[in-house]
Structure 1
Amino acid sequence: MKTFKIGGVHPAENKLSASSPIREAALPKQAVFSMFQHIGAPAKPVVQKGDEVKVGTLLAEAGGFVSAPIHSSVSGKVAKVDAVLDASGTRRMAVYVDVEGDEWEESIDRSTTLVKLSDRPELDSKAIVEKIKNAGIVGMGGATFPCHVKLSPPPGSKAECVIINAVECEPYLTADHRLMLEHPEEILVGLQLIMKAVGVNKGYIGIENNKPDAIALMKEKAKDYEGIEIVPLKVKYPQGGEKQLIDAVIGRQVPAPPAIPISVGAVVQNVGTAFAIYQAVMKNKPLIDRIITVTGKSVKQPSNLLARLGTPFQQLIDECGGLPEDTGKIIGGGPMMGKALLSLDVPMTKGSSGLLIMNDKEARRVEPQPCIRCAKCVSACPMGLEPYLLSKQSKLEDWEGAEKNDITSCIECGSCQFTCPSHRPLLDMIRLGKSTVMGIIKSRAAK
């Protein structure tokens, strides 16, 4: 069975909510929309205090080409435009909306009727990309890169295939799994739209073989969609990384930066993104909600919630039985790549894939010991890097050495830290080093 070739680890899956159907979360009393919900320039508010908005109303326009607009997920009145604490602990500009009812913009098709590509023959590549851009669609796997940018390849680049990332290799998270089980054909039409947007006739959906029900269902439904192949993959983390997925599905290796997937003819999008693209293009629905997994071994009701953007994390946890008494840490995302939250008074954004509540025992960090030179981190690294060296160079602030040893190629998957017998905070140090080196490179380029 296919998988990527270099490195990888096998953390416990803990897919506690895999059998929990998607259920709709309640509306918040107040929704808060950060202007920083994507990679690139922040969005610019176009509303002010006192304005009336509906579900789907434009709240903020894109701040540049690499940016995305933001739409209201609720109806009500703008309370203020002010700063909010985001998941990283940074204060960001945001639009606050006091919720009143649930009135939608009339242009949005709320029906569940499937609209196929053959039903919309007038859609060409330009029209599809424009609709995606105007709907504020970004990568739903966590990277939140604006989709219209990915679907506008640089001059001289040519796509040969589209790969949908349905791997969901991060432990605990099950939102993508449930999406495939409950909305398979919408995903397939979304993939067709992406294929048409970039001008290719071949599309793949990569799914790890720990989701046999999703593989079987998607294979059955894909029979009616020409040029689409479902690719079962061996379970291995971090197979959801773009470069690892491309290697696993089509056997091509993406070179080091500045090379990107299109450099080897591939366009990669998350399965949730394909679904959002279907909704945007076929239903005129901007990105106003998403599925988020709320889970943990002590959580009373691990769930997959369809929640409106701007809903506070505290409310989502309350809907799953509340915060357990033995809570030690709450992570935004999963245990491998997610980050600990400083507060639950944080609004859900386009990139919010999960809330993991860890108990005291799970959250407790073991005291780091000296490196024993076992090279397990080197064997585990899917990018072929030397994590022990990069972490040391970061600690010593040897930025020149870290850059020379390719620290910017790190995908921050955490495989090195997971496998380290000395419990060294390798990823923590490398993240700091990578951020610093990237800042140096940008400063150098600006001169």
Structure 2
Amino acid sequence: MLSLIEKIRSGHLWEFPGGVHPPENKSQSQSSKIARSSIADELIIPIKQHIGKKGDVIVRVGDKVLKGQALTQYNSSLSLPVHAATSGEVIAIEPRPSCHPSAIPEMSIVIKADHQDTWISHQGVPDYTQCNPEQLLDIIRQAGISGLGGAGFPTARKLQSGLGRVEILIINAAECEPYITADDTLMREYADEIMQGIEILKHILKPKLTVIGVEDNKPEAIEALNKAGADHDVVIRAVPTKYPSGASKQLIKILTNKEIPSNGYSADIGMTMFNVGSAFAVKRAVIDGEPLIERVITLTGKSIKSAKNYWVPIGTPVAHLLKQGEFTPTKKQAVIIGGPMMGFALPQIEAPLTKISNCVLAPGKREISFDDHEMACIRCGQCAEVCPASLLPQQMLWYSKDQDLDKLEEYNLKDCIECGACAYVCPSNIPLVQYYRQSKAEIKTRNAEQEAAERAKVRFEQRKERLERDKLEREQKYKQAADKRRSQMKTADGGDAIAAAIERVKQQKAEGPKSAVAAAIARAKAKQAQVQPSETAEPDNSEMRKLREQRKQEARARKAQQSQADGDSDTDAKAGSKTDAVAAAIARAKAKKEQLAASANGSANSETTNADANDDKSAKHDAIKAAVERAKAKKAAQASATTNATAGTTDSETDSKKSAVAAAIARAKARKAEQASASNTESDTGEPEPSDDPKKAAVAAAIARAKARKAEQASANNTKSETGEPALSD
């Protein structure tokens, strides 16, 4: 069984599905050799003319530049520099209309040509075999070479991705698009230089086989290549003319029967492909040292009198090239960049030609119709039959109109090569490719937004992790510093002062405001207990309340008696009763003083033994009893005096009441004295504070004096009432 390489060498070819055979119309521009376009007064050079990133501008307005001088420099592998296509002055760096279906303005460098066309000093590498692949890749990258077949992918990056992976190198010379003959004339006139460029690519990639695929409608080009490649290990294959055999996936299918996987590249299956114009540009860059500043562009169409191929400087306005071809526009004239199948109508002819521009087509009124109106799809299915990618154009059209991007991705819209075969055969004149391009742009925008959101999310998460990590590091740092200070304080003070302080703070927080209030209340109660006598020393006031009630009743009775009494009084009896009352009060005061003295003696002797305390207690009881007996004797004397002064039944009742009152007072005083002596005895058993005993004695003395004064006043009142009351008759 023959291997794939052997089959290819033997001339075996395969077919791809679908495809169409539109009118070629190549003869209009094939009859003459490549002409050189004149230099326009102004060249508009877009900064970005390739797939990837734009370079950094290294010139300023007013700078003088030479032909071949770099205007930008690349900053990544997907970035390429652009060069001045002629000598002159930079007059502007600003957005200008681009060579795009929308003519959207793009940042461009505008050069005013001096028409001297002075080259910058440049030098190539004639013996490129002495250079390693990295050196050659750098030369190709600095020359700004990108794919000239229409894709515009950086050639150096494509070569770099194929290092060590490529077994078959394919040179695309099919040029299947109608009207375009740029590659055809280039092969006929520059076959030797193309072969040199192919040898440089072979030196870099080191493939096992190199194949050139040319459509069989270019016999002169095939003959020139066979002649130039006689001494080179290159296989030249004439492939059947069928559109779009020049597409990379379809040409690989024809030559190798291999298919590039979806979302994959040709290098994934061990192959890589370059346009024949790219091979020529590589030769100019490596051997001649010339950057990519011009290319062959086909100027054709019925509206062009001088249709031919031109060497056109990059940045030349389309209007300038049309003028050279003696452009005679018709009513509603359209100018197409590219071919009639994959090209687009240019809104402004002042837009510049770029590295990927290969044709300017100005068709006549009957050549290409632009007045066909779109009609409803009749579901004929012809679009699916001619699709070279085996897609379902009808389904994708409906999803494009509905803007169902998910369904479009499910139906592999990305695999559409936009060849236009479906639109070419559509009987309803539906511009299918336009719908697909718009949907692709929407999907690209959505995916870019999603990627940006994902990147933002990743950055946010990374920032969050970084902040958390910094926080942990700070906490660890503070902890280490605190531990260090703690150890130093332990060494210096012999204790952990910080820990103790923290513990106190925690305890205070744990106790809270309630604990503080409780402590304050406890302190207040303690102070109050120190100042006031204990609860056991407080007197029983129940007898005093009864006594007060009796006094109130007696007072009311006296007032009633006084209102009925006679105004005369017995002066001698009154004087006697006053004397007795004073004597009684003096006796009571002396008894109280003795009690206070006994209390003071008990406080002073608090440190004596229990036997002494019992003796003091018995002495106090004796003193109290003596005072009570004296009080009773005085009251008895008062009662007898009262009996002598009065003669009726009312007087005897009053004397009995007074005697009861006096007895109650005596009992109350006796109880009070006993309570005071009991509290003094209890305080003797403890250890009272020396500063509190004199205070208690002073308070007790003051209370005794007050009570004595009250008793004197009561006696005086009683005496007055006794002397003023009339004697009742029998």
**Category of TM-score, reference length = shorter chain:** over 0.9
Mean Cα deviation higher: 40-49 or 322-331: 322-331
Secondary structure class of the residue paired with 1:430:
helix
Deviation at 1:44, TM superposition (A): 2.2
In structure 1, the residue corresponding to 2:335 is in which secondary structure?
strand
Higher helix share: 2
Task: Kindly indicate whether the alpha-carbon contact (under 8 Å) linking 1:390 and 1:405 is maintained by their aligned counterparts in 2.
Answer: yes
The 3-state SS of whatever aligns with 1:70 is: coil
**Residue 399 of structure 2 contacts residue 407 of structure 2 at CA under 8 Å; is this kept in 1?**
yes
In the alignment, residue 280 of structure 1 is paired with which amino acid? A
Q: C-alpha separation between the residues in 1 aligned to 2:73 and 2:22? A: 40
> Which residue is equivalent to 1:105?
120
Aligned to 1:112: none
State the alpha-carbon separation in 2 of the partners of residues 169 and 43 from structure 1: 33
Q: 1:67 aligned to 79, 104, 110, which one?
A: 79
Matched, 1:92 2:106: yes
1:193 paired with 2:200, answer: yes
> Is the contact between residue 2 and residue 234 of structure 1 (CA under 8 Å) also seen in structure 2?
no
Question: Which 5+ residue runs of structure 2 have no aligned equivalent?
Answer: 1-11, 455-730
Give 1:333-344 correspondences, 5 Å limit.
333-344=338-349
5+ long unaligned stretches in structure 1: 110-114
Counterpart for residue 153 of structure 1: 161
Match of 2:227 in 1: 220
Q: Greater Rg, structure 1 or structure 2?
A: 2
Tell me, what secondary structure is at the counterpart of 1:73?
coil
After superposing the two structures, state which structure 1 stretch, 194-203 or 374-383, moved more.
194-203
Aligned runs of 1:222-301 on 2, under 5 Å?
A: 222-226=229-233, 228-257=234-263, 259-301=264-306
Q: 1:421 aligns with which of 421, 427, 446?
A: 427
8 Å CA contact 1:195–1:201 kept in 2: the answer is no
| Kept in 1: contact 2:303–2:327 (CA 8 A) | no
Q: How far apart in 2 are the matches of 1:174 and 1:420?
A: 27
1:353 pairs with 320, 336, 358, which one? 358
Task: Return the alpha-carbon distance in structure 2 between the equivalents of residues 261 and 442 of structure 1.
Answer: 24
Number of residues of Structure 1 aligned to a counterpart in Structure 2? 437
1:338-395 alpha-carbon deviations (Å, 9 max, x no partner) = 1110111111111110100022332323122221222111111111111111111011
Map residues 129-144 of structure 1 onto 2, 5 A cutoff: 129-144=137-152
Distance 2:318 2:273 in 1: 29
Q: Contact 1:387–1:430 (CA<8 Å) still a contact in 2?
A: no
Distance, in Å, in 1 between the alignment partners of 2:379 and 2:150 is 33
- 2:132 maps to 124
| Per-residue deviation, residues 128-167 of structure 1 (Å, max 9, x unmatched) | 1111101000000111111111001179x71111111101
**Residue identity in the other structure for 1:215:** I
| Cross-structure match for 1:171 | 178
What is the CA distance between 1:442 and its match in structure 2?
3.5
Partner Cα separation in structure 2 for residue 188 and residue 124 of structure 1: 19
Determine helix, strand or coil for the equivalent of 1:95: strand
User: Quick check: 168-177 or 362-371, which moved more?
Assistant: 362-371
Q: How far does residue 424 in structure 1 lie from its aligned partner after superposition?
A: 1.1
Partner residue, 1:431: 437
Please list the CA deviations of residues 99-119 of structure 1 after superposition, one character each: whole Å capped at 9, or x if unmatched: 11111012156xxxxx97xx4
Where does residue 380 of structure 1 map in the other structure? 386
* Paired AA for residue 39 in structure 1: I
Please give the alpha-carbon distance, in whole angstroms, between the structure 1 residues aligned to 2:285 and 2:128. Answer: 13
Q: Deviations over 1:308-351 (max 9, x none)?
A: 11111111111111233356211011111111101111111111
Aligned counterpart in structure 2 of residue 14 of structure 1, from 17, 20, 25: 25
**1:4–1:90 CA distance, 2 compared to 1 (3 A):** farther
Give the corresponding residue for 2:650: none
The two structures have a TM-score, normalised by structure 1, of: 0.94
**Distance in 2, Cα, partners of 1:149 & 1:67:** 9
1:255 shift after superposition:
1.2
More strand by share: 1
- Between the aligned partners of 2:303 and 2:14, the Cα distance in structure 1 is 33
For residue 43 of structure 1, report the CA deviation from its aligned partner: 2.4
Asked whether the 8 Å contact 1:327–1:359 carries over to 2, the reply is no
Residue pair 2:13, 2:256 contacting (<8 A) in 1 also: no
User: Quick one: distance in 2 between partners of 1:442 and 1:193?
Assistant: 37
Q: Name the counterpart of 1:325.
A: 330
Q: Deviations over 1:250-281 (max 9, x none)?
A: 22111111x11111111111110000000001
Q: TM-score, normalised by structure 2?
A: 0.58
Percent of aligned positions that are identical: 34
Partner of 2:509: none
Q: Structure 1 residues 120, 425: closer, same or farther in 2, change over 3 A?
A: closer
- Structure ranking higher on relative contact order (CA contacts 8 Å, 6+ apart): 1
Render the CA deviation track for 1:61-109: whole Å, top value 9, x for unaligned: 1243212100101101111111110011110111111111111012156
Q: Which residue of 1 aligns with 2:93?
A: 81
Give the Å deviation of 1:241: 1.0
Return the alpha-carbon distance in structure 2 between the equivalents of residues 123 and 337 of structure 1: 39
Of residues 376, 382, 396 in structure 1, which corresponds to 2:402? 396
State the shift of 1:121 in Å.
2.9
C-alpha RMSD of the superposition? 1.6
Preserved CA contact (<8 Å) 2:99 2:354 = no
